[in-house]
């Protein structure tokens, strides 16, 4: 495989030749050895190889895929720039292989009116990064959960969906109105399903680990009950508003996925995403285990798998890391299509907010740069096919957003792709992360799939020479 | 166990003078943990070592001047984020009996709301020369954060709902001292009360299952949440215990009954209808105690809510060893400070033994 | 522990017996009788030694001298020993020390730190009239100004050697041997 030296971030990928890599094209449902040429930022030629030319090329080496889309990331600007800015967030995205990122509106001020949305877009433009930022508008004014935000104005300004993420839309009447109104505007409502009356002060998934560690339990039922409510309301709203669409984000439990599976079988317009950490990690990590979910036994004390100190605050997240069975259910849901997409829920935090007692630490994992690595671990373990995994990061999110699928490798289209080496393991260090958020539980771990090149919209977004 | 002094001497004392027949060089168990954060990582031989060291400390406490210079020149800081006179004084007396210098820091409220973070406080304490840090905190897991930051030894004096290792050790010591045969193996031990919120219960689960006791946890269903699942998981690993809301089943033929304090906050949290109802269904009364074996031990970590979880005549009755628990508490804490100082001096690296 | 050669016997059982008898006479002689005498053995092997001395005095004087045991574990100045030798052997001093003449008994006198620790301990128990020291073997190399009043045998040694006293109450038989060690293994001071 050869890659012609590319220019610096933001510049047009003038001339790029990738030969003899494993090309994964989920839109075409196809993967295999191929050559690729990019000229002046556009796809010039894609040649699938066969016979002798394809010799020795397999899915274990260099892989070319469409650029990933992250349906759920927190860029913290405006208001919390010490944790992350749009610029650092986009750099982190490019490092992680993401060429499109959907930013959540829980900024300060929140994105509850177009001016803030335009601020974020301006910050993206000023950063010089070619990675595309799409912005969610808030559902409620001030994200207070009482009145609707200026949904129409936000949609006109380009909001790609509405969400109060960080929080659910707890008021059922408001949720119902928002679902209908957003449906009218042709934009999905993205809900963070959580029944807050069951999670007051909750610290960790309710289960064996929380019991032993003396942490306040976060019941799976808190998510399941909210999902059930959301789906019940959706079923009624679609009768009046057939274009209503609901997307449930960061689903983490078997019970929730069962409800979603049945709703889809009933043809309800619902989609959902799952985070990489809910696929690969479990609550056993809080006890000090470092087993991947497919290795974990359910009792780290019995298994003798505790290798690290307990109460690592980088593991505190909403929804919490769940028990083994839930993580396995998440992997199954991705495989069978119940889950449409993988979204990172990238949540950077400052050391001040995380380097404290567990019960006082902020929720969130800085995960956009380690997402690919975790997913490849699952693929390596046979829990997911490579094609399905890449699909969940590309065509899956595009479908959720309702975007017409631009075929990533069609000749003449702008190049929006990434190149990574599956066999190249890289060590996750705080200094290696482009994000300001160093709150990753994977620091010190080695992950597969070092990203070598990210091209977004025909322009350089990340290349290893830059480091 | 024979005495290394003329038998008449030992029995005249009335105390058990420990003796080991094998030469010290052949005993492989030393205390290898830099910190004491929880009993989950402490092996049974290590617990036995603590018991024997406590015996010796009890002898010291019986002297006219109950002091030894073992920790002379060492500085012990007591960092208490939760108010607790009895535990703090117990640790203070223990440290002073070992001739250590003691610094007391009482933090009125949580670190975050009042400015200085836990990490900053620990760094300051270290800069001021503390060799050992005894910590009590309202948030589970806080001592682990301190242990990551502190170069010396951290001794957990109670963290949130999670652990209170010295309490479990003194409970075990007290049981062994008063049970015929000097062992809890095979004995029915019942912990009664608000198990869910109890760090005393959790640490006792580790200690008593390691000791081979037949452990029962009893309380209202709302205060036992999660323990049935833990019992099922623990049974698989050989650390078995029984969970029940039937006080009669729990107390029947019990050798030891440990009552836990029930707090008013549990009503506000919607977990209990009233203290009156708790006392009626789960209070340890003289009548209920008759279900247990005659001579069964009555224990309580304190402070007591007399008339609520335990009847006053039971708390001060002939079965009660509650005051012995307090005395043993000082001895156990002396033993732990001593063993931790030894581990530090012996160069147990903090990375090797962060837990 | 490796050694260059086999341990060499330097006191036989008989020699120990005779030394004990001689020292028991010396103790009484120095006190001009048995009034106020108390024997305290330093754990571990000082204890059977103290008992034997008391037994010998009882035989030739017909008086039972009180015997106690003193564990100096908590009085050592080297905390790193705790990890290696954690087990505490126990102190039992069931008599009033005030005004008494204490004869400390130990098996080997080496650097003197054990005796210093023992005297530190005794001070916490009361104020004796006098403290004397009886040892079975004095091997030299004092690091503190400590001197034995009664010595079973003076044995000049080098720092690479280890002197071991065996007493049948604890070991299988009576005897004192000396062993040469590789320099790196010279360990705990006595």
Q: Is the pLDDT of residue A405 over 80?
A: no
Report yes or no: B213 at the A interface, CB cutoff 8 Å.
no
Q: Rounded CA gap, A315 and A312, in Å?
A: 6
Q: Of the candidates C116, C111, C36, which has an alpha carbon nearest to the alpha carbon of residue C70?
A: C116
Domain interval for residue C73 = 14-158
| Closest-CA residue to B29 (of B38, B16, B20, B37) | B20
Interatomic CA distance for residues C2 and C186, integer angstroms: 10
- pLDDT tens readout for residues A235-279: 999 999 999 999 999 999 999 999 999 999 999 999 999 999 999
In a domain, C188, yes or no: no
- Do residues A458 and A41 make contact, with C-beta atoms less than 8 angstroms apart? yes
C-alpha angle B36/B42/B47, rounded to 5°?
100
Residue pLDDT, tens place only, B224-253: 999 999 998 877 667 889 999 999 999 999
- The answer to whether residue C1 is domain-embedded is no
Domains annotated on chain B, with CATH: 7-18+33-164+328-345 (3.40.50.1370), 166-324 (3.40.50.1370)
CATH at residue C42: 3.40.50.2020
> Which positions of A are catalytic?
345
Phi, psi of B280 (to 5 degrees): -65, -40
Name the nearest CA neighbour of A466 among A453, A447, A450, A449.
Answer: A453
Quote the ipTM score. Answer: 0.90
- Is C175 within the bounds of a domain? no
Residue of B87, B91, B114 lying closest to B103 (CA atoms)? B91
Tell me, yes or no, if A352 comes closer than 8 A to chain B by beta carbon.
yes
To which residue do tokens 């147990």 refer? B348
> CA of B97: how far to CAs of A338, B61, B170, C83, in Å?
65, 8, 17, 20
- Under the banding of pLDDT at 50, 70 and 90, the label for residue A465 is low
Identify the structural domains of chain A with CATH numbers, from first to last: 15-63+414-466 (2.30.40.10), 66-401 (3.20.20.140)
Q: Give CA–CA dist A30/A27, Å, rounded.
A: 8
Q: Are A116 and A143 spatial neighbours (Cβ–Cβ below 8 Å)?
A: no
pLDDT at residue B355 is higher than 70 = no
Q: What is the pLDDT of residues A106-141, one digit of tens each?
A: 999 999 999 999 999 999 999 999 999 999 999 999
| CA dist., res. A190 & res. A37, Å (int) | 37
* C164 located within any domain: no
Mean of pLDDT values over A84-101:
98
Instruction: Report residue A342: phi and psi, to 5°.
Output: -105, 125
| Pairing assessment for the beta strands B297-299 and B256-259 based on DSSP bridges | parallel
Q: How far apart are CA A149 and CA A185, in angstroms?
A: 14
A237, A179 contact by CB (below 8 A): yes
Structural domain includes residue C172: no
Residues of chain B contacting residue C126, judged by C-beta atoms under 8 Å apart = 64
C71 touches chain B (CB under 8 A): yes
Beta carbons of A208 and B230 less than 8 Å apart: yes
- pTM, two decimals, is 0.90
Mutate to test the interface with B, among C43, C64, C74, C105 (most CBs of B within 10 A): C74
Contacts of B156 in chain A (CB under 8 A): none
- Measured between alpha carbons, how far is A342 from A376 in angstroms, rounded to an integer? 13
Query: Do A355 and A313 form a contact (C-beta atoms < 8 A)?
Result: yes
Closest CA to A382 of A323, A331, A445: A331
- The length of chain B is 355
Mean pLDDT of C120-129: 90
Distance CA B334, CA B67 (A): 10
- Mean pLDDT in residue range B130-141: 96
Query: Is C83 within a domain?
Result: yes
Mean pLDDT along residues A182-202: 97
**pLDDT, tens digit (0-9, with 9 covering 90-100), for C13-57:** 999 999 999 999 999 999 999 999 999 999 889 999 999 999 999
Question: For residue B180, which phi and psi values (nearest 5 degrees)?
Answer: -60, 135
Q: What is the dihedral of CA A377, A381, A386, A392, to 10 degrees?
A: -70
Q: Count of domains in chain C?
A: 1
Q: Measuring CA to CA, how many Å separate B220 from each of B194, B224, B290?
A: 8, 7, 21
Residues of B within 8 A of C121 (CB-CB) are 68
- Considering only CB atoms, B141 lies closest to which of A298, A301, A311, namely A311
Cα–Cα nearest to A21, from A51, A54, A44: A54
Which pLDDT score is estimated for C83? Answer: 66
Domain assignment of residue C169, yes or no: no
A255-269, B100-114, B189-203: least confidently modelled range: B100-114
Residue A4 to residue C95: CA distance in whole angstroms: 93
Contact partners for chain B, using 3 or more CB pairs closer than 8 A, are: A, C
3-state SS track over B71-94: CCCCEEEEEECCCCHHHHHHHHHH
Q: Which DSSP string do the residues of B3-60 spell out, in sequence order?
A: -SS-HHHHHHH-SPPP--SS-GGG-------S-BS-GGG--HHHHHHHHHHHHHHHHH
Cβ partners under 8 Å of residue C173, min gap 6: C13, C166
Which of A74, A70, A189 is closest to A140 using CA atoms? A189
Answer yes or no: are the C-beta atoms of C93 and C42 closer than 8 Å. Answer: no
Q: Is the pLDDT reported for residue B172 higher than 90?
A: yes
Q: Does C176 reside within a domain?
A: no
Residues from chain A contacting residue B355 (CB–CB below 8 Å)? 288, 309-310
State how far the Cα of A186 lies from the Cα of A182, in Å rounded to an integer. Answer: 6
């Amino acid at each position: 495989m050869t890659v012609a030296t590319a220019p610096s971030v933001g510049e047009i990928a003038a001339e790029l030749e990738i030969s003899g890599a494993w090309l994964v094209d989920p839109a075409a449902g196809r993967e295999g050895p191929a050559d690729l040429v990019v000229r002046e930022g556009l796809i010039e030629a894609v040649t699938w190889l066969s016979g002798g030319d394809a010799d020795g090329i397999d899915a274990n080496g260099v892989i070319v895929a469409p650029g990933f889309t992250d349906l759920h990331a927190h860029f913290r600007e405006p208001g919390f720039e010490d944790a992350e800015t749009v610029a650092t967030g986009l750099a982190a995205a490019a490092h992680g292989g993401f060429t499109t990122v959907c930013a959540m509106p829980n900024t300060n001020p929140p994105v509850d009116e177009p001016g803030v949305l335009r601020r974020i877009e301006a910050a993206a433009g000023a950063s010089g990064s070619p990675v595309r930022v799409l912005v969610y508008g808030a559902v409620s004014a001030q994200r207070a959960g009482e009145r609707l935000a200026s949904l129409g104005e936000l949609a006109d300004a380009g909001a790609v969906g509405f969400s109060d993420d960080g929080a659910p839309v707890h008021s059922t009447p408001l949720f119902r109105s928002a679902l209908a109104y957003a449906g009218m505007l042709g934009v999905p409502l993205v809900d963070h399903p959580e029944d807050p009356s069951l999670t007051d002060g909750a610290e960790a998934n309710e289960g064996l680990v929380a019991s032993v560690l003396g942490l306040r339990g976060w019941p799976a039922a808190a998510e399941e009950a909210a999902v059930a409510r959301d789906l019940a309301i959706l079923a009624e709203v679609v009768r009046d508003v057939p274009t209503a669409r609901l997307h449930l984000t960061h689903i983490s439990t078997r019970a929730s996925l069962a409800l979603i599976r049945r709703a889809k079988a009933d043809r309800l317009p619902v989609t959902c995403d799952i985070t990489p950490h809910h696929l690969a990690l479990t609550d056993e990590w809080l006890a000090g285990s470092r087993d991947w979910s497919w290795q974990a036994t359910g009792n780290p004390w019995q298994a003798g798998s505790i290798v690290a100190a307990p109460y690592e605050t980088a593991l505190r997240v909403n929804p919490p890391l769940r028990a083994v069975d839930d993580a396995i259910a998440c992997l199954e849901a991705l495989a069978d299509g119940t889950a449409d997409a993988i979204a990172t829920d990238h949540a950077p935090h400052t050391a001040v907010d995380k380097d404290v007692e567990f019960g006082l630490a902020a929720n969130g994992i800085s995960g956009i740069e380690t997402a690919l690595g975790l997913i490849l671990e699952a693929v390596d373990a046979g829990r997911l096919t490579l094609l399905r995994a890449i699909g969940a990061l590309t065509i899956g999110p595009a479908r959720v957003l309702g975007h017409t699928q631009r075929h990533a490798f069609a000749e003449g289209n702008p190049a929006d792709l990434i190149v990574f080496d599956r066999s190249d393991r890289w060590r996750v260090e705080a200094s290696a992360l482009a994000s300001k958020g160093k709150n990753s539980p994977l620091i010190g771990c080695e992950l597969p799939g070092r990203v070598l090149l990210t091209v977004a919209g025909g322009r350089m977004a990340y290349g290893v020479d830059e480091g | 166990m024979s005495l290394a002094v003329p038998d008449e001497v030992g029995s005249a004392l009335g105390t058990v003078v420990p003796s080991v027949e094998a030469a010290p060089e052949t005993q492989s168990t030393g205390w290898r943990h830099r910190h004491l954060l929880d009993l989950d990582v402490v092996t049974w031989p290590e617990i036995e070592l603590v018991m024997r060291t406590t015996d010796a400390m009890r002898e010291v406490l019986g002297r006219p001047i109950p002091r030894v210079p073992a920790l002379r020149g060492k500085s012990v800081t007591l960092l208490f984020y939760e108010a607790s006179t009895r535990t703090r004084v117990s640790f203070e007396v223990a440290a002073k009996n070992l001739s250590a210098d003691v610094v007391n820091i009482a933090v009125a409220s949580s670190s975050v709301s009042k400015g200085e973070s836990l990490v900053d406080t620990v760094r300051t304490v270290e800069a001021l020369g503390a060799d050992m840090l005894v910590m009590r905190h309202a948030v589970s897991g806080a001592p682990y954060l301190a242990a990551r930051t502190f170069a010396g030894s951290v001794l957990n004096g109670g963290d949130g709902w999670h652990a209170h290792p010295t309490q479990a050790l003194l409970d075990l010591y007290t049981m062994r001292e008063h049970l015929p045969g000097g062992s809890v193996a095979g004995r029915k031990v019942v912990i009664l009360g608000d198990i869910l919120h109890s760090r005393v219960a959790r640490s006792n689960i580790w200690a008593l299952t390691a000791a081979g006791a037949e452990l029962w946890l009893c309380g209202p269903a709302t205060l036992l949440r999660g323990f049935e699942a833990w019992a099922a998981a623990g049974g698989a690993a050989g650390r078995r215990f029984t969970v029940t809301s039937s006080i009669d089943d729990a107390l029947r033929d019990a050798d030891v009954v440990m009552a836990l304090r029930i707090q008013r906050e549990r009503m506000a949290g919607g977990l209990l209808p009233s203290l009156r109802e708790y006392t009626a269904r789960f209070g340890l009364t003289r009548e209920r105690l008759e279900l247990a074996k005659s001579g069964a031990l009555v224990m309580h970590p304190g402070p007591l809510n007399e008339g609520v979880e335990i009847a006053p005549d039971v708390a001060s009755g002939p079965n009660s060893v509650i005051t012995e628990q307090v005395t043993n508490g000082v001895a156990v804490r002396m033993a732990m400070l001593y063993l931790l100082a030894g581990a530090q001096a012996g160069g147990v690296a903090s990375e090797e033994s962060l837990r | 522990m490796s050694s260059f050669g086999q341990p060499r016997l330097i006191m036989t059982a008989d020699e120990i017996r005779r030394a004990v008898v001689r020292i028991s006479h010396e103790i009484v002689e120095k006190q001009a009788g048995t009034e106020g005498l108390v024997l305290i053995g330093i754990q571990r092997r000082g204890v059977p030694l103290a008992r034997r001395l008391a037994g010998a005095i009882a035989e030739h004087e017909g008086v039972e001298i009180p015997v106690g045991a003193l564990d100096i574990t908590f009085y050592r100045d080297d905390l790193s020993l705790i990890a290696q030798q954690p087990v505490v052997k126990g102190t039992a001093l069931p008599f009033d020390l005030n005004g008494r003449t204490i004869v400390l008994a130990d098996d080997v006198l080496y650097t003197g730190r054990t005796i210093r620790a023992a005297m530190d301990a005794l001070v916490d128990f009361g104020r004796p009239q006098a403290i004397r020291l009886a040892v079975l073997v004095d091997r030299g190399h004092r690091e503190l100004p400590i001197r034995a009043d009664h010595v079973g045998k003076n044995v000049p040694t080098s720092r690479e050697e280890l002197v071991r006293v065996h007493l049948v109450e604890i070991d299988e038989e009576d005897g004192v041997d000396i062993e040469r060690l590789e320099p790196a293994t010279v360990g705990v001071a006595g």
